[in-house]
Structure 1
């Protein structure tokens, strides 16, 4: 998506466990005995 839409960019988010700033978050089923998730935030670049 970002390769084809140059007016968008990642928005950093805080990792809920480590507290570090990350572009993506992956939750695997074995981590919490739940469904798996891949999470990222994107935003339109400010002009």
Structure 2
């Protein structure tokens, strides 16, 4: 069962994670964009 106490205890984890995600996404500006490839069966010869 979900409790408010468990939610409040886990809130302390969200703030450090947000800082790490922001730091990681800031590093991506230096990398060139690479478009993804399609996984369709029409490209198989």
State the TM-score, normalizing by the size of structure 2. Answer: 0.23
Higher relative helix content: 2
Higher relative strand content: 1
Larger Rg: 2
State the TM-score, normalizing by the size of structure 1. Answer: 0.22
